[in-house]
Amino acid sequence: MGSVKNKHLKTLVIPKSATVYDSTLKYICRGTVFPNLETIKVQKRQPPRGLYPHHIHRQGDRILRRTVWPKNTNDLLDQLADNNCSIDDYLEENREDMIVLAAKDFWEAAIERSGMSKCNIINKADFNYCYFYDIVNGRKIASRDKVIRLILSMHLTTDDCQEALRISGRSALYPKVQRDALLIYGIENRYTVDETNQLLSAHGEDTLR
């Protein structure tokens, strides 16, 4: 019996946990199993071991396959600076690298990791229900203080907070800035939002808005 083919698959997603070797990749690219495969999408920031573009981009002068790696900010800036860049094509091509989707994924994982109910988080963060769901569903990007309120409410780590600020397009906490140092202290010591605000007020800093 011949090998089973998937004639419908056009995009193959390689997850972050996967390691892809040369032999496997070359087999995939021959089209034996996936004859209509057009795109190999790699979820790692860097290509997995053994995954090299020259193995899949060309066969003679013919484009055989293309790979898509998540882009960093410089990649995106370079693309926008290109005179031939179409903004519609840019937005479509980079949809999965947009902050909204990254923020949505982050908050979903953070809520699950906290072990808390969404209702409990909303109450502890003193959020409006609609605003909270707009944030966790990626419809809105939280302000810097709102991100920190959520982190404190879920008792997450400083690293979690820095990641949340990064994907929300907000400035990171900087320990040489007094207010930021107080916020880091509150996060590290699992303070509530109210306790953190008391700490900020006691040192003459603006409370979390």
The string of DSSP letters for 39-104 reads EEEE-SSSPPTT--HHHHSEETTEE--EEE----HHHHHHHHHSTT--HHHHHHHTGGGSHHHHHH
Model confidence pLDDT, tens digit, residues 67-83: 444 566 677 788 888 88
Q: 150 to each of 40, 143, 167, 189, 204, how far by Cα in Å? A: 36, 11, 14, 15, 22
Note the pLDDT of residue 124: 95
pLDDT for residue 15 is more than 80: no
Q: pLDDT band at 59, cuts 50/70/90?
A: very low
Q: What is the mean pLDDT of the chain?
A: 77
**Residue 138 confidence (pLDDT):** 82
pLDDT digits (tens, 9 = 90+) for 127-155: 999 999 999 888 888 999 999 999 999 99
pTM: 0.56
% of the chain residues with pLDDT over 90: 39
Residue 3 — very low, low, confident or very high, per pLDDT cuts 50/70/90?
low
Contacts of 185 (CB under 8 A, 6+ apart): 191, 199
Q: What is the mean pLDDT of the segment spanning 48-66?
A: 39
